Amino acid sequence: SQTIHQWPATLVQPVGSPLSLECTVEGTSNPNLYWYRQAAGRGLQLLFYSVGIGQISSEVPQNLSASRPQDRQFILSSKKLLLSDSGFYLCAWSFLDRVDTEAFFGQGTRLTVV
Amino acid sequence: AQSVTQPDIHITVSEGASLELRCNYSYGATPYLFWYVQSPGQGLQLLLKYFSGDTLVQGIKGFEAEFKRSQSSFNLRKPSVHWSDAAEYFCALKSSGDKLTFGTGTRLAVRP
């Protein structure tokens, strides 16, 4: 069966520091991968999604970037965090080219920028 | 561009009462629609999905949703709410390019 791992679960970082959140999927190949941010009262905002290695679509211009160095690894990064980057970050995967299937979510990372 | 609207930010119902959460979408082709539930501090769990066929779909935990193309809606319903249903509910739409877009969510509170 497939599983998704996302870490760390919580993170407190000072303003201006770098960020790296990692997400890996096991038990499947060539998944679609997604990063979402959930800010208080603002729902789920799609940040990036990827349909393959090195293929990243950015949805919202911002202080963050994403990379997919391996088929089942998706990394969210920032060079310098802002206070506004605080939120709950969720990684998800879905089957490639199976638009009728759902996305499966990790447990999320609570990021607090201080 | 695709979008999902959940007009109700907060809803409170009494335990045992019926529930309907609204979802409207905007998309130029056949939509693939989902409802997810999120407990505090957790990831998202799929309740149900629609991609073709019968417009009334059944999900887990006694939930159902009805797809109405003429109204661009996919409302979630439950005949009798339990206290454990208190959570945040998200409607989502997936396009043919595998882009998955969520609404802003509806937070459900259940009165004893």
Q: pLDDT of B38-85, one tens digit each?
A: 988 788 999 999 988 889 999 999 999 999 999 999 999 999 999 999
| Cβ pair A49:B98 closer than 8 A | yes
Taking each continuous run of H as one helix and of E as one strand, the counts in chain A are 0, 11
pLDDT in tens, A1-55: 889 999 999 999 999 999 999 999 999 999 999 999 988 767 888 999 999 998 9
| Cβ pair A90:B105 closer than 8 A | no
Helix/strand/coil for B71? helix
pLDDT in tens, A58-90: 888 678 999 999 999 999 999 999 999 999 999
What span, in angstroms and rounded, lies between the C-alpha atoms of A31 and B74? Answer: 27
Q: Which residue of A lies nearest to B104 if distances are taken between CA atoms? A: A43
| Cβ pair B42:A99 closer than 8 A | no
Look at residues A103, A71, A28 and name the one whose alpha carbon lies nearest to residue B95. A103
Instruction: Determine contact: A56 vs chain B, CB below 8 A.
Output: no
The predicted structure's pLDDT at residue B67: 95
Domains of chain B: 3-111 (2.60.40.10)
Domains of chain A: 3-113 (2.60.40.10)
Q: Which of B95, B100, B104, B107 to mutate to test the interface with A (most CBs of A within 10 A)?
A: B100
| Alpha-carbon radius of gyration of chain B | 13
